[in-house]
Structure 1
Amino acid sequence: MNIQIEPYIEDGKTIMPSITLSLNTSIVGIYTDVKKIDYVMQALKSVGYIHPMDEGHYERLTIEESFRYYCALFDRKDEVEELLSAFGFSKQRKVKVKDLTKSERNKLHFLRAFLQTSQLLIIEEPLQQMDEDCRVIVTQLMMKWIESGRFILLLSNNLEDILISTGEIYRVDQTGCHPLDFADDSPPTKAEEDISFKIEKIQTKKNDKIILFNPPEIDFIESMDGEVLVNVAGDAYNCGMTLQDLEKKLKGYGFYRCHRSYIVNLQKVREIITWTKNSYSLKLNVGEGTVIPLSRAKISELKEYIGIS
């Protein structure tokens, strides 16, 4: 499926040139800023169903009444019980919408998108302001939605949110649409594995200052479009080393290459999250609970590495 988006010009300046997007997989992500997300949604109104981040609810209805209303609207009355269960609302069916948490309201909001019959579903910020349980459910519902051969386009300025759901991600900027250049995921050779390094500091740079970190201070490291960022206590610092070099040097300090573009300090991992049977993340015990992607090819190796079943 091909999508054509006309150029976005503001005050004579090209904010985004014309782009053509080929949907070769069922779920594709676009990573860009809020202004371009708004423009893309406006440009694709006639192409598919737009699911905006915020939309009103019928506050006085109970959850069950909301499900019955929307299922009747889409001629799917016989699916109310099945959908209440799929959305994780069976035990809350008598709760009024106005009494739901923000996370639960966002999950309920996804019902309208899930019932659509359009060939293409365009979702703005798919997992924003959702807790872990709601994220798992919505991710599973998206996987179920595409089973009939339809497509989902995710729009977000949060890379981790769309990494959970798809590996095909494009960055849109003023020069066009670019496939994200993730770091090489090729395994090290036996000779490389046998090399040991003794290091005490990782050199980074921020605001023209050179900053040195002890390995245990580092939460995780990410690489995208050739830039390596060392994340410490909620801040990101540029690093001149490649992800592959950092992987080799930090292995002895308990760091693990959990994804082609991420290295994680295993001492900071609190939880392994299963979104779907093929989608995983690691929740860290830093800040408010940072979540980073875990490659499905790495899950068995990681469990063996840290000694869990």
Structure 2
Amino acid sequence: MNIQLEEVKEKNKILIPAFTFDVKITGIYTDIKRTQLLMEQLKPIGYVHRVNEGHHAFLTVEETFRFYMDLGNCPISLEDMLQLFGLQHKRKEKVKKLTESAKNCLSFLRPFLYSKDLLIIEEPFDRLDEEARQTIVQLLNQMAAEQRNILLLSSNLEELLFITEDIYRIDHSEFHKMDFEGELTTRTSVEEEEPIIKIEKIQTKHNDKTILFNPPEIDYIESIDGTVYVNVAGTGYSCALTLQELEKRLRAYGFYRCHRSYIVNLQKVREIITWTKNSYSLKLNVQENTVVPLSRTKLSEMKELIGIS
């Protein structure tokens, strides 16, 4: 199925670039804000399943299945459906007494029964235990075999890789098709994972709160008086990691140590500014007038990395 996305801007900043792509079981790896914008845009053409969909708390699991199956004229037997969702042993339990994992698995009943050509799912594996996760993977594969198109929206790259390697990442200018080595399709242990999927979050602090960022969200990182700050959308968040540690962890995401006190996300570099013969800066495609210094000795290497002369 071919999907055409329209550009979405906020204060002259592109949040969703215009893009056309084919969907089978396809993932988009992005942040929460863009996920909400994508769901709103796609709502007219598909069934949108949001994370933490509500439940009829006082119904039993069996009553919930009967209600939605009758509503959708489901041809599958109740016993087979309970088995399919791995909830046959909880059929007499009230929904309100289920674990969070079982509730989230149960909430997938509606999109399984009612979605037709396109299903859009927000955070498909949110708070699922291993057994429930495998159940959802099997359900998604069954739906794909029935020629239903599935678009998964998540801020967790590793979770998207449970079901597909057809994954796009969004930045301020375009969608990027992510490329994975062949060995990532079969992962039997943490030790076998490649660094690109091992790093999921960069932990920071702000106003006594712990905030986790996905690497693509980060604009640049700086060290000021011995404290490291991760800069996202115009705000600096303190980080306990050193620049050396962050440089190593973020290299696979296109980050570059452009100055002894700065690491920059190369995907967000818009302009190289020459001040004097030996003085340079990088202007970023983020907040207005966001500029970071570029060491003279780093200029040639950086140009080679991003493929310019």
TM-score > 0.5 by shorter chain: yes
The number of residues matched between the two structures is 208
| 2:46 matches 1:48 | yes
Mapping of residues 105-120 of structure 1, within 5 Å: 105-120=103-118
Deviation at 1:222, TM superposition (A): 3.3
Deviation at 1:230, TM superposition (A): 11
Mapping of residues 172-211 of structure 1, within 5 Å: 172-183=170-181
Mapping of residues 123-202 of structure 1, within 5 Å: 123-183=121-181
- 1:175 aligned counterpart, secondary structure: coil
| 1:59-92 superposed Cα distances (whole Å, 9 cap, x missing partner) | 0000000000000110116522111011111111
1:221–1:230 CA contact under 8 A, matched in 2? no
Question: Structure 2 residue aligned with 1:65, among 63, 66, 73?
Answer: 63
Aligned equivalents of 2:142, 2:98: Cα separation in 1: 25
Deviation at 1:183, TM superposition (A): 4.6
Q: How much identity, in percent, do the aligned residues show?
A: 40
Mapping of residues 75-94 of structure 1, within 5 Å: 75-76=73-74, 78-94=76-92
| 2:2 matches 1:30 | no
- Structure 2, unaligned stretches of length 5 or more? 185-189, 202-211, 213-240, 253-309
1:107–1:134 CA contact under 8 A, matched in 2? yes
| 2:14 matches 1:20 | no
Query: Are the structure 2 counterparts of residues 180 and 61 from structure 1 closer, same or farther at C-alpha, using a change threshold of 3 Å?
Result: same
2:60–2:93 CA contact under 8 A, matched in 1? yes
Aligned equivalents of 2:28, 2:200: Cα separation in 1: 24
Q: Which residue of 1 aligns with 2:4?
A: 4
Aligned equivalents of 2:198, 2:68: Cα separation in 1: 46
Aligned equivalents of 1:222, 1:33: Cα separation in 2: 22
- 2:116 aligned counterpart, secondary structure: coil
- Structure 1, unaligned stretches of length 5 or more? 187-217, 244-309
Amino acid in structure 2 at the alignment position of 1:239:
K
RMSD of aligned residue pairs (Cα, Å) = 3.2
Deviation at 1:174, TM superposition (A): 1.2
Aligned equivalents of 1:7, 1:149: Cα separation in 2: 28
Aligned equivalents of 2:19, 2:250: Cα separation in 1: 33
Mapping of residues 249-264 of structure 1, within 5 Å: none
Aligned equivalents of 1:112, 1:68: Cα separation in 2: 12
2:157–2:200 CA contact under 8 A, matched in 1? no
Deviation at 1:17, TM superposition (A): 1.7
| 1:133-187 superposed Cα distances (whole Å, 9 cap, x missing partner) | 110111111111111111111100000111010011110121111101335769x
2:125–2:159 CA contact under 8 A, matched in 1? yes
| 2:194 matches 1:222 | yes
1:120–1:152 CA contact under 8 A, matched in 2? yes
Amino acid in structure 2 at the alignment position of 1:148:
E
Amino acid in structure 2 at the alignment position of 1:10:
E
| 1:209-259 superposed Cα distances (whole Å, 9 cap, x missing partner) | xxxxxxxxx9676344xx99699xx9875439999xxxxxxxxxxxxxxxx
Deviation at 1:5, TM superposition (A): 1.0
Aligned equivalents of 1:82, 1:184: Cα separation in 2: 35
Amino acid in structure 1 at the alignment position of 2:3:
I
| 2:133 matches 1:99 | no
Amino acid in structure 2 at the alignment position of 1:222:
E
Aligned equivalents of 2:88, 2:173: Cα separation in 1: 47
TM-score, with structure 2 as normaliser: 0.61
Q: Which residue of 2 aligns with 1:273?
A: none
Aligned equivalents of 2:200, 2:128: Cα separation in 1: 26
Query: Are the structure 2 counterparts of residues 97 and 241 from structure 1 closer, same or farther at C-alpha, using a change threshold of 3 Å?
Result: closer
Aligned equivalents of 2:66, 2:41: Cα separation in 1: 32
